[in-house]
Structure 1
Amino acid sequence: MRLIPGRERATSAPDLTKRRRPRLRHPAQVLVAAFFAVLMAGAGLLCLPVASTGPGGADFLDALFTSASAVCVTGLIVVDTPAHWSGFGQGVILVLIQLGGLGVMTFASLLVLLVSHRLRLRARLTAAAETKSLGPGDVRGVVFGVVKVSLLLEAITALVLLTRFATAYDEPLPRALWLGVFHAVSAFNNAGFALYSDNLMGFTTDPWICLPITFAVVAGGLGFPVLLELRRRWRTPRRWSLHTRIVVWATCAFIVGGSVFVTALEWDNPHTLGPLSVPGKLLAGLFQGVMPRTAGFNSVDIAEMNPATWLGVDVLMFVGGASAGTAGGIKITTFAVLLVAVYAEVRGEDSANIFHRRLQRGVERQALTVVLLGAAAVVLSTLVLLTRTSHNLDQSLFEVVSAFGTVGLSTGITADLPGLEQLLLIVLMFVGRLGPITVASALALRHRVRLYQLPEERPIIG
């Protein structure tokens, strides 16, 4: 055992002023508390009688689950969205989706900047932690950039959808506008909420509905740092940061691979792609290949898919999209880092390299932590569903991964789950939206610094 150099001076005299420290000292704790507060506020609003179409207010558990699914931009539902919720209720869901997608603290920082034109250090640190910006100094630009990009892409998508709903489906202009805005916001924020009881199954072969939504889902899944960098340097890929390169190439690979996988396995399925024409099959296959990254829209019946397709979609949902955006899962950057680390280990190399850059050891350790925590959450939750419900392994695993990945695709069993299991899915959505490390850091009582190093020894691996 030896002391770490410089750590012997880490301790300091006690503060004689005895200032009262805030209870939420870590940015992760502030993020968790803020999301939880918005979640509960949304549940309270959805419990109001005016939020439901039927007499009386909604059941609290239904309101809580819907609020959590909206704030965590998931899309899992326990009641029929257009039939159960009134216009007010749907508006609350839309606001919750936008808050959850932008980030609660990002939105709060925007309001403070608009009013006072400045942020305190604690607010900057929290916003930096949520947006994954470089540091508290660039938070102002990042916050405004996030909002501008979000509103611009949502407006473009809404305009295309509005035009299509009004011209091809004879929707009145106010209704077409509402449909366009709601689905655009839901798509960009990867939420998957739809104002149709069958989600988007009525538009399976309509490219003017499916393709704009697909575009918005992919854009939101890239993450705000990537979107902001592409806005500035889209013509010069050689100047992209390592993070942007990984996200762009991995996203393309997952879109192509996921679309080919779903299309091939469901090509002859009479309940999904089988009855469609060849162009219709390709469009539906592309749509369902993109949605597991992490938007819960579906243009075919997920419950009728082959079990093999479910398993592949489980993998896509678990990986998810990019960091610091609206996507969930362990993130494609995490997957790429581990893949490169495994490749380097197999080749006997001392370090993992990607795009002519060497990865830090700490990045590999962090990626491994995210994967193991995520896998543990999925396995334990699936075990709970298997032991407490009558649903099989395929259905239980699919629902759990969908909740953890904040995807929202469902085999149709969520609404039938008992109350305790629905609460479990709420926890999974919450953890999946904020990230396992963020939640774990928020739960930690304190940050411990070891002042010494133990003797080194290596166990046998493999």
Structure 2
Amino acid sequence: MHAAAARRQDRRSVPARIRDELDAFAKSSPSRFAIVVFAGLILVFTLLFSLPIASATGRMTTLHDALFTAVSVICVTGLSTVDMATHWSPFGNALVYIGVNIGGIGVLTLASLLGFVVSRRLGLRARLIAASDTNPSRIHVGPVAERQAVRLGEVGGLLTTVAISALTIEGVIALGMIPSLLATGAGWWTSIWESFYYSAMAFTNTGFSPNATGVTAFEHDYWFQSLLMLGVFLGSLGFPVIYALARGWRNPHRWSVHVKLTLTTTAILLVLGAGAFILLEYANPRTYGSLDAGDTIFQSFFMSMMTRSGGFATIAMDDLNGSSMLVSSMLMFIGGGSASTAGGIKVTTFAVLFLAAFAEARGAPSMEAFGRRIPRDILRLAVSVVLWGATIVAIASIAILQITKLPFEFVLFDVISAFATCGLSTGVTADLPPSGVYVMAATMFMGRVGTVTLAAALAASQRRQLFKRPEERPIVG
């Protein structure tokens, strides 16, 4: 019987055997499979960006620049070591546009889509992979947190929502941008192309610009800037939130705790960030000092939104006061919503930490939000995310400081921007030597893949223990 099975195995086609091997790998470790898929995409785009046809000069792009661009595109970061508006040919720009839309889908959702193509059906394992992107708790062995953002049975609907929402939102925003592009004197075809380019960069929270002047050409066009903010906001909410709002926007009382926490924390951070920029930059002649009150308020809200992972800017980041630069770094580190095109530790992670501190101050036995109890395993997960994120930022900052000898606040800003896949820069990234470029590329990759997914991939599985050791409380604080 075994011999007959072996003969049937040998008679299968090579594609069938490859498909089965990939399916077996995906079943054994969904998180590692997702990382391999993401790394494979980066390698493919590195090769494509290095081709002479991808550059405007017709010459091959150096390996470190091609790799960095590929990581930045697939990880929807927005940092660059070359001038994105002039270095690439139409073929190269098309690669950028396609790459950010692929990367914006998300590492685990992308892996589940590939698994669907490979196996020709969305099986349980593929559903688990996709569900992990909406709730990292599913990566770990053991009980799953209550009130999932998206249940396993709804993953097929989530994947459909991902595609439809991305195409619809980008298309509507692009149509709204065309008049602003035409007003700059650009032709119809250029305006249409650049409007779709800008809308994709906004929704995916990337921040690349197709023209050399960037969004400074629209610093007085508040309609254009508002569309950018709208795209960044929708992209940073996360597909589970968009999915929930699309199904029940008329019934807020039925929204899950995840949706409510994401919307509430996002709104609070947007307002607090804008208030901080108004207070810290209103007298800075290099930024908002020459603006009137209304312009200062609008630009502060624009800055607050873009530091959450948007990556667009109407001012130079190195012109900010040191205090504003620190606020920007804090907002970038927090980032956007889970399973979104934004990076960072995620707003729900920050909210859980705040709720834990609030519960501890009150002496409450558990964390609560919107009439629901949040289990303690979510707190442990949140602490792990922050600790891993801080460790990545610290190690990368030390390495870049040693390589460049540049001021600490500038290096820290760019490293956090890389980790949080934001794309704002003080100019440090563009001047990095090849060794620094590779460090920043690794930082972007780890930030986008996600600290939880990365940790789960490094640890093959959680060990089950059939006993408990004696409990003892260390002194903390």
* TM-score, normalised by the number of residues in structure 2: 0.89
Partner of 2:411: 396
Aligned to 2:274: 259
Structure 1 distance, partners of 2:406, 2:131, is 42
2:106 alignment counterpart: 103
Counterparts of 1:262-341 in structure 2 under 5 Å?
Answer: 262-341=277-356
Q: Residues 149, 23 of structure 1: CA spacing in aligned structure 2 closer, same or farther, 3 A cutoff?
A: closer
Which residue does 1:4 correspond to in 2? none
Amino acid of the structure 1 residue aligned with 2:130: A
Match of 1:162 among 178, 188, 194: 178
Whole-angstrom CA distance in 1 between matches of 2:308 and 2:381: 21
Q: What code does the residue aligned with 1:141 have?
A: G
Partner of 1:140: 156
Contact 2:72 2:441 in 1 (8 A): yes
CA offsets 1:387-432 (integer angstroms, 9 cap, x no match): 2222111011101110111101000010211222211111111111
Please state how far the C-alpha of 1:264 moved relative to its aligned partner: 2.2
> Are the aligned partners of 1:205 and 1:284 in contact in 2 as well (CA < 8 Å)?
no
Q: Which amino acid in structure 1 is aligned with residue 65 of structure 2?
A: D
Question: Which range moves more in the overlay, 280-289 or 403-412?
Answer: 280-289
Q: Does 1:49 align with 2:52?
A: yes
Alignment of 1:410-429 (within 5 A): 410-429=425-444
Q: Structure 1: which 5+ runs fail to align?
A: 1-16
Residue 179 of structure 1: SS of its match in structure 2?
A: helix
Q: Check if 1:27 corresponds to 2:30.
A: yes
- Note the C-alpha offset of 1:136: 3.9
Q: Percent identity, aligned pairs only? A: 39
**Is the Cα contact below 8 Å between 1:125 and 1:135 reproduced in 2?**
no
SS of residue in 2 equivalent to 1:294: helix
| Conserved? CA contact 1:319–1:331, under 8 Å | yes
- Match of residue 43 from structure 2: 40
Q: Which amino acid aligns with 1:355?
A: F
User: Compared with structure 1, are the counterparts of its residues 300 and 150 closer, same or farther at alpha carbon in structure 2 (3 Å cutoff)?
Assistant: same
Q: 1:322 aligns to what SS in structure 2? A: coil
Residues matched between the structures, number: 444
Q: Name the CA distance, whole Å, in 2 between partners of 1:355 and 1:109.
A: 32
Answer whether contact 1:320 1:331 (CA < 8 A) is retained: yes
Q: Determine whether 1:78 maps to 2:81.
A: yes
Structure 2 partner of 1:188: 203
* TM-score (normalised: structure 1): 0.91
* Cα distance, 1:102–1:450 mapped onto 2, change above 3 Å: same
> Hey, what's the Cα distance between the residues in 1 that align with 2:134 and 2:369?
24
Q: CA RMSD in A?
A: 2.1
Cα displacement string for residues 183-224 of structure 1 (whole angstroms, at most 9, x for unaligned residues): 101100101111122421221121121000100101110111
Q: Which residue of 1 aligns with 2:194?
A: 179
Residues 108 and 132 of structure 2 are in contact (CA less than 8 Å); yes or no, is this contact kept in structure 1?
A: no
- Change in 2 beyond 3 A, CA 1:115/1:424: closer
> What is the deviation of 1:85?
0.7
Which structure: greater helix fraction? 2
SS at match of 1:299: coil
What stretches of structure 2 of length at least 5 have no aligned partner?
1-5, 7-19, 136-148
Structure 2 letter corresponding to 1:385: I
**Partner Cα separation in structure 2 for residue 306 and residue 174 of structure 1:** 40
